[in-house]
Amino acid sequence: MSGVTVAVLGTGRLAHALTGALTARGVAASMLSARDPDRARALDADLTVLAVSDDAIGPLAAALAAEAGEPADADGTSGVVHCSGALDLAPLAPLATGRWLGAWHPMQAFATVDTPIAPGVTWGITAEAELREVLVGLTATLGGRPVLLREEDRPRYHAAATMASNYTVVLIDHAARLLQDCGLDADAALEALLPLVRTSLDGLQGVGLPGGLTGPAVRGDVGTIRRHLAALADRPDTAALYRAAGRAAHDLLVARGMGPATLAAVDAALRDPGDGTGTGA
């Protein structure tokens, strides 16, 4: 895709990573602040990427349309995309005349401005046919995996990404607090957990689902589950997360062949004594 010119509007973590990755692979890519007075010139590129927050996409698209006016070629020779995982193409509507519209979202977390785009990342693509081909090609150039999405599926797609990435961090935070209760400082708690998380992901990558699930629920170790919940009595928020995650494992336990009696015992151990469904832990 070396013949395509790309202008990235934004100066955040994704904007830096995307511009750097494209440039490193021979694509003529430039980055421009979304607040630059001359930002409309980004629309002169073959592909303009709005790498800004979700709430900023619509206002930025409207401002660009007002500042740039309609393109000379009303049949469309260039594309405009946003990088939101959850939004459809509606926020880009002000730029629709003479341009192909799309959404191009990397399923990757960018913790810092120096985080590079990793190989093998899935990119959620929603676009008109002509632009779709360009985005699939650029995704391949970046070493990624293109996934074509309908507009209406984007919120569900992004919910999946949020659960797997953002909320994993939330669970680790709660686990780290429990280790701090045991006397570890914050750094030591995280250092203790990260190898466990990595080996869990390695196992998941190796055997997939449901085989990647391990732990007391898989073993039907009801006594351990009850001891865990008793130890979390003074941390009700963490106990609620523990119960919710355990109950959510039900289908995985069934898929792994757990018998009805053991499954019922695990479910009973995970019940909240305050919800009226059982005696709980």
Q: Give the pLDDT of residue 279.
A: 38
pLDDT surpasses 80 at 276: no
Cis peptide before 37 (omega within 30 of 0): no
Averaged pLDDT for residues 118-122: 97
- Banded pLDDT at 9 (limits 50, 70, 90): very high
- Banded pLDDT at 257 (limits 50, 70, 90): very high
Contact between residue 79 and residue 131 where contact means Cβ atoms under 8 Å apart = yes
User: For a pLDDT cut of 70, what percent of the chain falls above it?
Assistant: 95
**How many angstroms separate the most distant Cα atoms in the chain?**
72
Q: Parallel, antiparallel, or unpaired for β 28-32 and 5-9?
A: parallel
pLDDT surpasses 90 at 201: yes
- Banded pLDDT at 24 (limits 50, 70, 90): very high
- Banded pLDDT at 74 (limits 50, 70, 90): low
- Banded pLDDT at 76 (limits 50, 70, 90): low
- Per residue in 122-138, pLDDT (tens digit) is 999 999 889 999 999 99
Q: Give the pLDDT of residue 69.
A: 80
- Residue 199's alpha-carbon distances to 110, 157, 185, 213, in angstroms, are 21, 26, 22, 12
- The residue that leads in pLDDT, 73 or 248, is 248
| Average pLDDT taken over every residue of the chain | 94
For residue 178, give the nearest of 243, 244, 233 by alpha carbon.
233
User: For a pLDDT cut of 90, what percent of the chain falls above it?
Assistant: 91
Q: Give the pLDDT of residue 280.
A: 41
Averaged pLDDT for residues 82-87: 98
For residue 246, give the nearest of 201, 281, 276 by alpha carbon.
281
pTM: 0.90
Contact between residue 108 and residue 144 where contact means Cβ atoms under 8 Å apart = no
- Per residue in 137-176, pLDDT (tens digit) is 999 999 999 999 999 999 999 999 999 999 999 999 999 9
| Residue found by looking up tokens 């780290």 in the block | 176
- Banded pLDDT at 97 (limits 50, 70, 90): very high
Q: Give the pLDDT of residue 245.
A: 98
Supply 87's token pair: 């939004």
Q: Give the pLDDT of residue 23.
A: 97
| Residue found by looking up tokens 């106990």 in the block | 239
